[in-house]
Amino acid sequence: MNIEKNISLADKNWFGTGGVARFFSQPRDDQEFEQAISFAKENNLPIFVLGHGANILVSDNGFDGLVIAPKLEQVSIDYSKGLVTAGAGVGMPHLIKTCLDKNLIGLEEFSGIPGTVGGSMYINIHYFEFLLSNFLSSARIIDAQSGQIMRVDPAWFCFGYNTSTLQAGKFYLVDATFKLSPVNSLEAAFARGRSIEMMRHRAARYPVARTCGSFFRNFHVDEIPFLINDKKIQFIAYYLDKIGVKGALRVGNAIVSHQHANMIVTLEGATSNDVVALVREMQRRVFEQFGLVPEPECRLIGFDQYPLLKHDLMGRAQV
């Protein structure tokens, strides 16, 4: 297995920013994944597992540890049982197309959402009422300490909205098996048409490059101490629209998208510090007007200290 040194991460994430990985590995099978974890353990290195980089912001200082970018790209299908097993490195768009080609439907509900199977399981991707966890049959994971690989059922993941057990960083996904619906060619063609329409719809509504998608998560009900029109509004986009940042607020070469107020787009020459400064200004404006501090859905990688605003125990915004 090849362990590389000082590898740029800027070309491996959608923002196109960030520094270098001290060490970098692309395991292609179970054994190489185990070896990569052993290398990190022997050298006392933190690990970050990288997919397609669609939901991360990498520090301009890079990542002082081992970045593992799994090339586990095998897909196997048992049509009679409706089971599809995909490695952690398989891109979701590729997996969806493969399933439709084999007359298996279900995963097309996530058409147009970038990322790998590993990253999608990590965050439990969702679109309207569908969650990826709805389709999971079983999975294999690898222990971050021992390198042991084990099979687990869906309950192990403790899935929620944007959450899973994987986020604790103690285990990483090796592969996942999904239970889909075998259909005839006409039904598969109908599902393919829906898939194409969803991708067209998303491309019209959202930026499709140099962004992490939704930067902030929605608020939880218990975080909102007031009512608007007799209800608590959880959607972060509502508050961002109210402060007027959409397509207007810019710091350096990072700008709030003109298509969606919760999506940040980087321009050529942008740095992660530009994104951080822009996000902090968005947070400050929401806090000044509503007393709420938006929290990121985007993962922050390699920062020595938390770079954004957060609530203190007194409900104030602090660095």
- At 161 the pLDDT is 83
Full set of structural domains in the chain with CATH: 3-68 (3.30.43.10), 75-205 (3.30.465.10), 221-318 (3.90.78.10)
Partners of 214 in the β-ladder: 263
Q: In what helix (H) or strand (E) does residue 302 lie, and over which residues does it extend?
A: none
- At 162 the pLDDT is 86
- At 311 the pLDDT is 77
117-172 pLDDT tens trace = 999 999 999 888 899 999 999 999 999 999 999 999 999 999 998 899 999 999 99
**56, 299 Cβ separation under 8 angstroms:** yes
Whether pLDDT at 4 is above 80: yes
**72, 33 Cβ separation under 8 angstroms:** yes
Structure tokens at 259: 């298509």
224-247 pLDDT tens trace = 999 999 999 999 999 999 999 999
pTM: predicted TM-score of the whole model, two decimal places: 0.93
As a whole number, mean pLDDT of residues 19-40 equals 97
Alpha-carbon distance of 121 to 116, in angstroms, equals 8
% the chain with pLDDT above 90: 94
177-229 pLDDT tens trace = 999 999 999 999 999 999 999 999 999 999 999 999 999 999 999 999 999 99
70-102 pLDDT tens trace = 999 999 999 999 999 999 999 999 999 999 999
- At 318 the pLDDT is 67
**φ, ψ dihedrals at 165, nearest 5°:** -60, -30
- At 99 the pLDDT is 98
Structure tokens at 254: 């990072």
- At 317 the pLDDT is 63
Give the confidence band of 315 by pLDDT, cuts at 50, 70, 90.
low
Burial of 11 (0-12, 13-18, 19+ CB in 10 A): exposed
